[in-house]
Amino acid sequence: MQSRGTSDWLRGRSMSWVDWVVALSSSQVADERQSAVLGQVSSATLSMMIRLNYTAGLAFMLIDNKRFEPCVWVFWAIALGAQAFTKAATRRQSVDFRTRIKVQSWGGIVFSSIVFGTIFVALERLVPGSRWYGSWRNDALAGAVATVVWAVLLKRRQNQKHKAVLLAEGTMADAADESLDA
């Protein structure tokens, strides 16, 4: 990552603030394997921390939203910011993580949000000591979070199906190649 930014600079290309942040935050590694392993582990750690941020925020909102709401906004801002930065930094390296599969229609997303929001509010009212009654802003926020979670889950499921089809096609192609070799 660091070498890419430096080489861009050497070739006269403009370095954005994203490149500078990546260059400053990159760890110095001894060789390509360490770099590859560190990249994989860092990616998994980032993903885990983002999920924990969302989950912890949701849990705190359920426990006592009036008390913890400011902290939860910070949690979610950090998680969303980290995701946005990751996408910006990877896109600078010509890697685009946007899915090519349209997972769900807008109608489906809205419907899922309403269902989740309804269940969420109903559950919230059952929690003893809760003071979160009829806050439309919080309900809308919960629906928005639900939309993201729901879309990610569906996208993952469809990607896995797509991958399984590709793998099956690849295995058949390999078998055909081997028969030609024989």
Partner 1 sequence: MGRTSAAGRRNGVRRARILADLTQAELAAAVDVTRQTIVAVEAGDYAPSVYLALAVCDRLGTTVEALFGRTARESISRTQDKERS
CB of 41 to partner 1, least distance (A): 10
In the list 24, 30, 122, 182, the residue contacting partner 1 (rule: CB under 8 A) is 30
Q: Which two tokens stand for residue 108?
A: 């489906």
Q: Which two tokens stand for residue 1?
A: 């990552």
DSSP letters along 83-111, please?
HHHHHHHHHHTT-----SS----HHHHHH
CB of 33 to partner 1, least distance (A): 4
In the list 17, 28, 33, 179, the residue contacting partner 1 (rule: CB under 8 A) is 33
98: DSSP letter: -
Rounded-to-integer distance, Cα 182 and Cα 172, Å: 15
Q: Is 47 in the site for partner 1 (CB under 8 A)?
A: no
Q: Is 40 in the site for partner 1 (CB under 8 A)?
A: yes
Q: Where do we find the tokens 């806050």? A: 135
Q: Is 171 in the site for partner 1 (CB under 8 A)?
A: no
Q: Is 32 in the site for partner 1 (CB under 8 A)?
A: yes
In the list 37, 48, 110, 140, the residue contacting partner 1 (rule: CB under 8 A) is 37
CB of 34 to partner 1, least distance (A): 7
Is residue 148 classed as helix, strand or coil in its secondary structure? Answer: helix
